[in-house]
Amino acid sequence: MIPASVLVINKPSGITSHMVISKLRYLLQERKMGHCGTLDPMASGILPIMLGTAVKASEYLVDHDKRYYAGITLGITTDTQDSTGTVLSRSEGPLPSFGELCEAAKAFTGRIMQTPPMYSALKVGGIKLLELAREGVTVEREPREVNIYSCECINGGGGFFLDVKCSRGTYIRTLCADIGKALGCGAVMSSLVRTEVGGFTLDDALDFDLLNGMTRDEILSRAIPVERMFRHLPYAQLQPFYDRLYANGERIALKKLRGVRGETGQLFRVYNAERGFYSLGEIAEYGGAQYFKLKKLF
């Protein structure tokens, strides 16, 4: 049985996220796994794979902030907002300078409204937008608030690039297209690398292309305990009597516990003297009093 852990894969461009899962299921002879945050075939970079009971933690990793390194090509628009799509327009005049790109990008930092692209996995009426787009159908999409913490422009490697730190739900190709629209020349995303998600970086990642040459044990030796995902949360270890009640799903009055204090909704990483980290606990409120209860058991 594989312990609850995260295997961070450096996915190459040209394959789907599901293909990574299929390969690992075959090599590890394990069905219980899932990925967090799908990467399009065009994109490369960090793809966290949740192993064993760590799949229960997927929702927490998906919600984390992310960082991308994206190529941006000025003077063109496509139906997919990236370089793989059908060209809709080309700019006839001189293209903006690098300095003008940097100035335009400044307007797209902070909390901004972004309209999801048609070529996306977002569902409308139970149908993915990309499936509608492939049939030539366009539907209205409501703009959504996203947070662009930083957007640094880089001139190098034969083109312009954006180093973007952003919240969940941000579409980088839409960001490129919106910047191009603001510049009046259009733009598409020409490459995309996810460099960070939930505290995991490319330094933690195992190259997908190396998997075939590794044994099962060698692959699993690169897995990271699921505990690392929650190191930002406060620590809790309950007295043995209360720990048994808690592990069996009983809620414990907060006033009875040592070292567990906080606001309602606060999460804790919970440890046991024998098992170490084994669950997430949460402060909840019932009848005006605070209790501590099990949130996720790993």
Measured between alpha carbons, how far is residue 3 from residues 7, 224, 233, 243, 274 in Å? 11, 10, 21, 21, 15
User: Between these two residues, 73 and 274, which has the higher pLDDT value?
Assistant: 73
- Give the model's pLDDT for residue 60: 81
* pLDDT value at 201 more than 80: yes
List all residues 6 or more positions away from 127 whose beta carbon is below 8 Å from its beta carbon. Answer: none
Q: Residue 95 — very low, low, confident or very high, per pLDDT cuts 50/70/90?
A: very high
* pLDDT value at 27 more than 80: yes
Among the three residues 173, 197, 221, which one is the final residue of a domain in this structure? 197
Among the three residues 214, 229, 244, which one is the final residue of a domain in this structure? 229
Neighbours of 195 (CB within 10 A): 19
Predicted confidence (pLDDT) per residue in 227-269, tens digit: 998 988 999 999 999 999 999 999 999 999 988 999 999 999 9
Q: How is residue 214 written in tokens?
A: 């590794």
- Give the model's pLDDT for residue 135: 75
Tell me, yes or no, if 217 is annotated catalytic. no
List all residues 6 or more positions away from 248 whose beta carbon is below 8 Å from its beta carbon. Answer: none
Note whether 85 and 187 are same-domain residues: yes
CATH number at residue 14: 3.30.2350.10
Tell the residue number behind the tokens 């409120």, with chain if given: 285
Mean pLDDT (the chain, rounded)? 92
Neighbours of 296 (CB within 10 A): 19
User: Between these two residues, 223 and 117, which has the higher pLDDT value?
Assistant: 223
> What's the rounded mean pLDDT across residues 71-78?
97
Query: What are residue 114's DSSP bridge partners?
Result: 144
Note whether 265 and 163 are same-domain residues: no
> What's the rounded mean pLDDT across residues 97-115?
96
What does the alpha-carbon distance between residue 187 and residue 192 come to, in Å, rounded to a whole number? 14
End-to-end CA distance of the chain: 13
What does the alpha-carbon distance between residue 68 and residue 169 come to, in Å, rounded to a whole number? 13
* Per annotation, catalytic residue among 40, 82, 178, 243: 40
Q: How is residue 187 written in tokens?
A: 């733009």
Note whether 82 and 193 are same-domain residues: yes
pTM, to two decimals: 0.89
Q: Residue 203 — very low, low, confident or very high, per pLDDT cuts 50/70/90?
A: very high
Note whether 180 and 86 are same-domain residues: yes
> What's the rounded mean pLDDT across residues 28-48?
90
Q: Tell me how many domains the chain contains.
A: 3
Note whether 73 and 150 are same-domain residues: yes
* Structural domain range at position 157: 66-197
List all residues 6 or more positions away from 237 whose beta carbon is below 8 Å from its beta carbon. Answer: 243, 259, 270, 271, 272, 273
Sign of dihedral through CA atoms 125, 127, 132, 135? negative
Helix H or strand E encompassing 207: strand 206-207
Burial 90-101 (b: 16+ CB within 10 A, else e): ebeeebbeeeeb
Predicted confidence (pLDDT) per residue in 138-187, tens digit: 777 889 999 999 999 999 878 999 999 999 889 999 999 999 999 999 99
Note whether 247 and 135 are same-domain residues: no
Note whether 72 and 164 are same-domain residues: yes
Residue in 148, 144, 122, 146 with CA at minimum distance from that of residue 133: 122
Q: How is residue 250 written in tokens?
A: 């009983």
- Give the model's pLDDT for residue 198: 83
